[in-house]
Amino acid sequence: MSNKEIETSMRKSVEAAQRNFNTIRTGRANTSLLDRITVEYYGADTPLKSLATLSTPDSQTIAIQPFDLSSLALIEKAIATSDLGFTPNNDGKIIRINVPPLTEERRKEFCKIASKYAEEGKVSLRNIRRDAIEKIKKSEKDAEISEDQSRDEQENVQKLTNKFINEIEKHLNDKEADILKV
């Protein structure tokens, strides 16, 4: 596994953690809050983004305009039964979701969720590091590389891991600051 491949894998882990952070709401409306919602549409679980136009007309509202009006009730049901805790308002053409301001307790809860996502990202990075180091040790054992080369490559993998863990920490700190900002 080359350093480039390791770096690419680690970059993908950081991006996955970032996408998870984006699904956590802060004090204002954001369409990425609905990224995880899927709607049972003609027997298949379909992402909400594929069924409707999502917009934020103001800082406290998310508007959902379905491409097919017959899917309106299905979309409303999917949002109502999701773990987001939103109550959708349906006017026959558009679904509006009022995003209420967060309480202090709810903000702390969201910070814990963000920490959990960050930890999942770090575990993913550590797994990539473990696999890379095992391959390096195997190459050394099979006499493909010298002991010094092995140690150097392991150090490089560790440096990459530290770099990406710091990046996840930075994203976590930014998200927590965003969540706690009133």
From first to last of its 182 residues, the chain has per-residue pLDDT tens of 678 899 999 999 999 999 888 878 776 778 888 888 888 888 888 898 888 998 988 888 889 999 988 888 888 888 888 877 788 888 888 999 888 777 888 888 889 989 999 999 999 999 999 999 999 999 888 888 888 999 999 999 999 999 999 999 999 999 998 888 86
Question: Cβ(78)–Cβ(35) under 8 Å?
Answer: no
Q: Which residues, in sequence order, are CB contacts of 145 under 8 Å at separation 6+?
A: 136, 139, 153
Domain boundaries, the chain: 3-22+103-180, 31-98
> Any idea what the Cα angle at residue 79 is, between residues 73 and 80, rounded to 5°?
85
Alpha-carbon gap, residue 86 to 73, rounded angstroms: 15
Amino acid at 58: D
Options 1.10.132.20, 3.30.1370.140, 3.40.50.720, 3.30.390.50; CATH for 3-22+103-180 is 1.10.132.20
Question: What CATH number labels 31-98?
Answer: 3.30.1360.40
Alpha-carbon gap, residue 156 to 128, rounded angstroms: 13
